[in-house]
Structure 1
Amino acid sequence: MMTTNHMTDHGLTEREQVEQASVPSTPNADITVIGAGIIGLANAIALQKAGFRVRVIDKQGVAAGASFGNAGHFATEQVFPLADPAMLPKLPGMLLDPLGPFRIQPRYFLKALPWFMRFLVNMLPARRAHNSAAIKALNQKSISAWQQLVSDCACPELLKLEGSLLVFEQTPSIEVERVYQSYRAAGVAVKLLSGDEVRGLEPDLSPNIKHGLWFTDVGHTQDPTELCQRLATQFSKQGGELVIGEVTGLRYVDKAIEGGKYEKDEQGEQAVSVCVADGANYQSDKLLLSAGAWSKPLARQLGFKVPLETERGYHLMMPQQSRLQRPVASFERKFIITPMSRGTCLAGTVEFGGLKAPLVEARADCLLPHAKALLPGVLAGAKTSQGERWMGFRPSLPDSLPVLGASPKSDKIFFAFGHQHLGLTWAAFGAELMAKTIKGEKPLVDMSPYRIDRF
């Protein structure tokens, strides 16, 4: 009987020795997914479809993190990595602007510095080209994968395919043309519009808008939380088990058999055991780590030091309804407006401050003046006190790529986390890729750019 948490051959670090018989254990599952956000749920359903018995464990429940309040934008037009050298001369102005889209909490600067150094390295042309190609590989089938997933979950109404707009107020025409051509060169379906053509699509938008890019093959959801709930409902209907509990430890154990005894299987392998805060012990043949911003310490237990940082993203949900049919992003203001069932969602700021600092109301409130400028008729008399402030944690890696794939140290451990601003976008297609990977089949794209040991 194995009594230690040390997984010498498989990558887990040492923890206290625990007597196996003293730990309550639940019936076995084929695979345990850690995380009940949009990534974890999409993976759980894909794994069920592939024939696995699946358990999902989350410390708070369905859509309790970034999946609750994201901008609802299936952003397949975003083919360029965030590490863009063009942002460097703009950075001081962004940091000094109280309404700016970017902030680093002073106390967190030194802690975030190693991540930013890696971020700068990914601005090099060769790295940027490599990362962009890997982003496009995930984008290419994301919308069609989502169409299939919402059909499977009987909620096609939660995926709107009206495209999205990027609007320009003061940017010179020559720069607008450059941006337009850069997207075209990257293979993005896009149309260049005049200000009047923009307002022809969206009459509520400001007369100050001079140009727009219409990304035609893009979608949005009017309720990200409800989308997660519908996926969770489908998961349960298909026999999935959802456990609410904070994961405190990961280890290998001998497999449980009848009578409370433990033994290895015919190949001498063992089960993966997930310990949660209440002392319960959940066993499965395999494990998929998909815990978003909380994946870093769990990956460390699995023997991997991953440079994952937390981008604290804010939204302000205003109750006013507009006539917008699609998300509208501002090139100059660096934020996005999405029409949703609960009102008008304003989102898009980035703050580095870690997982423990509380929400900063001013970071949400600064979105309203920008939105008033773009939707003057809709939000003319709006006040921040009318809105719902929210902050969520985007799990971001310095190369703008997620961690997807198998552990190089164990055939029982798999990863799907670190999706930065594109978690919603990549969830369905990424889940298809992971299901094939876990089944031992060849995925549709080369998975090597997303491997966990690339750092």
Structure 2
Amino acid sequence: MTNHELTSQDKASQANVSSARNVDVTVIGAGVIGLANAIALQKAGFSVRVIDKQGVAAGASFGNAGHFATEQVFPLADPAMLLKLPGMLLDPLGPFRIQPRYFLKALPWFMRFLVNMLPAKRAHNSAAIKSLNQKSIHAWQQLVSECGCSELLKLEGSLLVFEQTPLVEVERVYKSYRDAGVAVKLISGEEVRALEPDLSLNINHGLWFTQVGHTPDPAELCHRLATQFEKLGGKLVIGEVTRLANIGKGEQCVSVCVGEGVNYQSDKLLLSAGAWSKPLAQQLGFKVPLETERGYHLMMPQQSRLQRPVASFERKFIITPMNRGICLAGTVEFGGLKAPLVEARADCLLPHAKALLPEVLVGATTSQGERWMGFRPSLPDSLPVLGASPKSDKIFFAFGHQHLGLTWAAFSAQLMAETIKGEKTQVDMTPYRIDRF
């Protein structure tokens, strides 16, 4: 049992102790966003409690691709996707799927998604993404240094590789990143293999993003953050938040009900519960168009010589070298929070990985791998909800970071600490307001 895994008796005992104490800020959510926020708030002088229904890194923070993807400056709502979408949906190895029973429920979200393809909205959203990206790597360097785990942040860049795409299209993609201010180099297939000898001879071109990074263990990174949080005096409570009370302006405190009648009080509340934030935000008076992207990975035990993440332009997936082997990730499925894992969505990643790493994965089978599915909290404009509640001076939000939760965690935590402390923030927070919808 790790330091952050508690028995039922431990949880009950901890709850009884914590319920008697008042803290400055209660953070709901012990994923990478919640933990980074908790530490930033502690550094700002607050006493902090974190509440999570399952514990540290129990959701998307456990099995994400581990990529600090500051090169991703373009919103997901891309008009170019419209022509490709039918083929993606029909391809059994494709990166995108909507469970049929969930289509009507997801339809309102997709309608908003389409609206965000309009040029003006797309430009606005891209600028807001860049504002978060610009200091994210530096913020992470600071955070891992403070937590004594700098080895969990590797700054070797990442590759986007092309197998069959004509050079003219590769150059167009390269220029789009370059013109957006991304540090990128266009390299040949030979240069790709000079960086990563295990990659296939079928790769003809690559984009080398030189100022991004990855972690070899996303879950361990979260546990190291949790260790630092507790070292600084923070309290971690395991339990499901069922009700929020005393949330109006002028109230003396915020009351958080966990489980059956256990109440925790604090001066302020930060909602950072990822894909589970929507119903809690609704209790606070906000109807947020948050949808769940069910992301899959297949962790293969084979070791490679890869030094950095490798994404495929044509195959729409990513390979990240990790301590436990090779993490294959990148599929998107819309199906809600309750449907079980679909093994085929994880298994479809292996044929793609074999094409890029033919010698490393020769003879590999899906039965050797570890299948996993997590919930990405996604909003139709590709921006998170960050900032203060316009209805209460005690309520704050940090959720909906979609595919860039790991990337933005450290910097968005700095922004939230500044917000909660009432200081001028490093970037304009207006694009991330909860009432923008």
TM superposition score category, shorter chain reference: over 0.9
List runs of 5+ in structure 2 lacking aligned partners: 1-17
Q: Distance in 1 between matches of 2:247 and 2:77?
A: 42
Q: CA, structure 1 residues 381+185, in 2 after alignment: closer, same or farther (shift >3 Å)? A: same
Query: 1:273-321 deviations in whole A, cap 9, x for unaligned?
Result: 0001132100000000000000000000000000000000000000000
TM-score, reference length from structure 2: 0.95
Instruction: Name the residue aligned to 1:406.
Output: 388
Partner of 2:275: 293
In 2, distance between residues paired with 1:292 and 1:169?
Answer: 35
Return the letter of the residue paired with 2:73: V
Q: Give, in angstroms, the shift of residue 253 of structure 1.
A: 8.1
Are residues 1:277 and 2:271 paired? Answer: no
* 442-451 vs 273-282, which moves further: 273-282
The AA in structure 1 aligned to 2:360 is V
Give distance in 2, aligned partners of 1:25 and 1:393. 29
Report the CA distance between 1:345 and its aligned residue.
0.2
CA displacement 1:229-260 (0-9 Å, x = unmatched) = 00000000000000000000000189xxxxxx
- Distance in 1 between the 2:312 and 2:63 partners? 19
Report matched runs for 1:255-334 at 5 Å.
269-334=251-316
The Cα offsets for residues 104-143 of structure 1, whole Å up to 9 and x where unpaired, read as 0000000000000000000000000000000000000000
Is 1:392 equivalent to 2:386 in the alignment? no
- Once the two structures are superposed, what CA deviation does each residue of 1:49-102 show, in whole Å capped at 9, x if it has no partner? 000000000000000000000000000000000000001000000000000000
CA contact (8 A) 1:245 1:278 kept: no
Structure 2 partner of 1:142? 136
Q: Determine if the alignment matches structure 1 residue 163 to structure 2 residue 189.
A: no
Please provide the CA RMSD for this pair.
1.1
- Which one of the candidate residues 25, 33, 36 is aligned to 1:31? 25
**1:226 corresponds to which of 185, 204, 220:** 220
SS at match of 2:424: coil
Q: Where does residue 88 of structure 1 map in the other structure? A: 82
Query: Is this contact kept in 2: 1:405–1:414, CA < 8 A?
Result: yes
State the match for 2:95 in structure 1. Answer: 101
Secondary structure in 2 matching 1:363: helix
Contact 1:101 1:350 in 2 (8 A): yes
Structure possessing the higher radius of gyration over alpha carbons: 1
Q: Quote the Cα distance in structure 2 between the aligned partners of 1:146 and 1:430.
A: 11
Once the two structures are superposed, what CA deviation does each residue of 1:158-187 show, in whole Å capped at 9, x if it has no partner?
Answer: 000000000000000000000000000000
- Counterpart residue identity of residue 91, structure 1: L
Give the equivalent residue in structure 1 for 2:13.
none
- Alpha-carbon distance between aligned partners in 2 of 1:26 and 1:55, rounded to the nearest angstrom: 12
- The match for 1:60 among 46, 54, 63 is 54
CA contact (8 A) 2:247 2:394 kept: no
Q: What is the CA distance between 1:380 and its match in structure 2? A: 1.1
Distance in 1, matches of 2:399 and 2:61, equals 13
Aligned counterpart for 1:176 among listed residues 152, 170, 193? 170
TM-score by length of 1: 0.91
Which of 384, 392, 398 is equivalent to 1:416?
398
Identity value in percent? 88
CA distance in 2, matches of 1:332, 1:127: 26
For residues 404 and 237 of structure 1, the distance between their equivalents in structure 2, rounded to whole angstroms, comes to: 26
1:191 has 2:173 as partner: no
Of 307, 324, 335, the match for 1:342 = 324
Q: CA deviation at 1:360?
A: 0.0
Task: Quote how far apart the aligned CAs of 1:270 are.
Answer: 1.3
Which runs of structure 1 show a deviation greater than 3 angstroms over 4 or more consecutive aligned residues?
A: none
Does residue 243 in structure 1 map to residue 237 in structure 2? Answer: yes
Alpha carbons 1:223, 1:340 under 8 Å: kept = yes
In 2, the alpha carbon distance for the partners of 1:201 and 1:279 equals 57
Secondary structure of the corresponding residue to residue 273 of structure 1: strand
CA-CA distance at 1:25 after TM superposition = 4.1
Query: How many residues in Structure 1 have an aligned counterpart in Structure 2?
Result: 420
